[in-house]
């Protein structure tokens, strides 16, 4: 493998890790294996620490493909708790309001989900990496400051109800780049008249790459250690 000319590693990011955590581990393994001090390594499509699943890690010249890879259609399996909201729309923050759920039926959920297929307008979460006047939105939100983010036009190809109860639903979502599933949980909860927040999220596919095709971080590091690797020519910067 030639990690300088460029390789793409398909990783199943663990729950609780930032995307940068995974990149850092892979970069460290590559630097040790190749006995060099610097190597460009990046990822296509950030996953929150509370999400797991497909993440593409690009090395060397393959980092030039990141924008193209990020544009691929993505598939998620998400669990949404109904009857309660949080400021971050997930479990990062505490519940701030509760609502009744007795009126929620499977039929109501299925009809509501239909409203979220096709082109939709979505306001990203305040607790997100979106930039507002040059500052990451989450930096302002975590300080309790007001965050105003403009809506974005997205495309939801498919929403399928996988599991139902009046207090919780699990859905499969196929969507375009830039979709915030946390914001989708918020909007579905609002449309059901119950509020909602994300309690579990797994990215199961990016383009043609399914999570079953991915390596764990440990197995990726093992692959790096065991696979023949083309080494760079010795230079002053690599000695």
Pick from 107, 101, 112, 125: nearest CA to 186: 125
- Terminal-to-terminal C-alpha distance of the chain: 21
Query: Which entry of 5, 12, 21, 48 is annotated as an active-site residue?
Result: 48
d(CA 175, CA 72): 9
The residue ranges of DSSP E strands in the chain, in sequence order, are 8-13, 41-44, 51-59, 74-82, 84-85, 97-98, 118-122, 131-132, 135-136, 152-165, 168-175, 196-206, 209-210
Catalytic annotation on 48? yes
Give the catalytic positions in this structure.
48
């Amino acid at each position: 493998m030639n990690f300088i000319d460029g390789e793409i590693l398909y990783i199943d990011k663990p729950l609780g890790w930032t995307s940068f955590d995974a990149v850092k581990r892979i970069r460290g393994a590559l630097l040790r294996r190749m006995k060099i001090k610097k190597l460009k390594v990046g990822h296509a499509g950030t996953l929150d620490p509370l999400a797991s699943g497909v993440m593409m890690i690009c090395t060397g010249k393959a980092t030039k493909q990141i924008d193209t890879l990020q544009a691929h259609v993505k598939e998620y399996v998400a669990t949404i708790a109904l009857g309660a909201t949080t400021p971050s729309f997930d479990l990062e923050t505490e519940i701030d309001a509760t609502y009744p759920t007795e009126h929620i039926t499977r039929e109501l959920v299925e009809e509501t989900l239909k409203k979220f297929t096709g082109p939709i307008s979505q306001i990203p979460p305040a607790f997100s990496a979106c930039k507002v006047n040059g500052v990451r939105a989450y930096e302002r939100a975590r300080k309790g400051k007001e965050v105003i983010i403009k809506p974005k036009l997205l495309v939801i190809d498919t929403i399928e109800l996988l599991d139902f109860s009046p207090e919780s639903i699990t859905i499969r979502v196929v969507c375009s780049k830039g979709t915030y599933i946390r914001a989708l949980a918020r909007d579905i909860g609002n449309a059901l008249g119950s509020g909602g927040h994300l309690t579990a999220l797994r990215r199961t596919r990016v383009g043609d790459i399914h999570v079953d095709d991915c390596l764990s971080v440990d197995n990726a590091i093992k692959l790096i250690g065991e696979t023949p690797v083309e080494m760079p020519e010795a230079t002053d910067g690599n000695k």
